[in-house]
């Protein structure tokens, strides 16, 4: 009985040790993310992200639990996640949450502060001008049917939608125009149009909004919008 108990404790401890959040200092982290089939996740706010981020990073604000849960559910559990924030605290908490959900996660020790101190490359940080409402209206009125995609490269569900959107547009070439709006830039336009999350798809017919949906859309659903 004692041997059985000891074996059971060994198995439990082994499982617990495997489900721990790993961490790496900046240079080792930079080497690790050069590997293929990994996912990089920025746990900071969208404003922090816009100031500069690690190339190819997705973004989900840990301080906004609803957003974080919604976006991270689209991560691939078969691929390791490399997470970071400004100084390492938020990403450690977020990483622990993801570990509890079955993801293999590695945290960046010291966050972006440590990354920059080691003179590692930072993407973004540019002051891209935003689209005016007049310009936007001009685009949605340019052809009889226009599909607007409010998304971003760093948004997990947006990336998941890319092949679906590509297939839909190829299947309906010449029937409609696709307008892509960068949700990481167009915050004023999104506010004016009450676009609250990414991705959001809006279909216009003759310049008037007829359908809107937030989140994932199937190719079949997109096709039904054209009827």
Task: Give the three-state DSSP class for 206.
Answer: coil
What DSSP designation does 131 have? P
Name the token pair of 11. 């198995």
> What is the H or E stretch that residue 7 is in?
helix 2-18
Coil, strand, or helix at residue 146?
Answer: strand
Spot the catalytic one: 41, 92, 158, 181.
158
Q: For tokens 């590692």, name the residue.
A: 120
Element (H, E) at 167: helix 156-171
Long-range pairs, 30-34, Cβ under 8 A, ≥24 = 30/115, 30/118, 30/120, 32/82, 32/106, 33/82
Catalytic, 158? Answer: yes
Beta-strand runs (E) in the chain: 22-24, 39-42, 58-59, 81-84, 105-108, 145-151, 177-182, 200-205, 208-214
Q: What is the DSSP letter of 129?
A: P
Burial 166-181 (b: 16+ CB within 10 A, else e): eebbeebeeebbebeb
CB 27 within 8 A of CB 118: yes
Active-site option among 94, 152, 155, 195: 155
Q: Three-state SS for 205?
A: strand
Give the active site residues: 155, 158
């Amino acid at each position: 009985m004692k041997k059985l108990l000891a074996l059971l404790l060994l198995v439990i401890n082994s499982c617990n040790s495997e489900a721990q959040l790993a961490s790496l200092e900046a240079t080792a982290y930079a080497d690790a993310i050069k590997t293929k089939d990994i996912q990089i996740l920025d746990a900071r706010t969208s404003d922090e992200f816009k100031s500069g981020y690690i190339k190819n990073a997705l973004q989900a604000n840990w301080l906004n639990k609803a957003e974080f849960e919604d976006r991270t559910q689209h991560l691939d559990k078969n691929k390791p996640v490399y997470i970071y924030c400004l100084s390492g605290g938020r990403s450690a908490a977020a990483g622990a949450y993801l570990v509890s959900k079955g993801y293999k996660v590695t945290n960046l020790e010291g966050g972006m502060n440590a990354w920059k101190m080691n003179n590692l490359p930072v993407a973004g940080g540019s002051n891209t001008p935003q689209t005016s409402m007049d310009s936007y209206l001009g685009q949605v009125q340019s052809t009889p049917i226009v599909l607007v995609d409010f998304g971003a490269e760093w948004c997990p569900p947006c990336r998941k939608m890319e092949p679906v959107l590509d297939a839909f547009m190829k299947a309906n070439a010449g029937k409609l125009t696709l307008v892509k709006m960068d949700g990481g830039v167009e915050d004023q336009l999104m506010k004016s149009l009450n676009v609250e999350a990414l991705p959001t798809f809006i279909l216009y017919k003759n310049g008037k909004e007829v359908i809107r949906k937030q989140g994932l859309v199937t190719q079949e659903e997109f096709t039904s919008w054209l009827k």
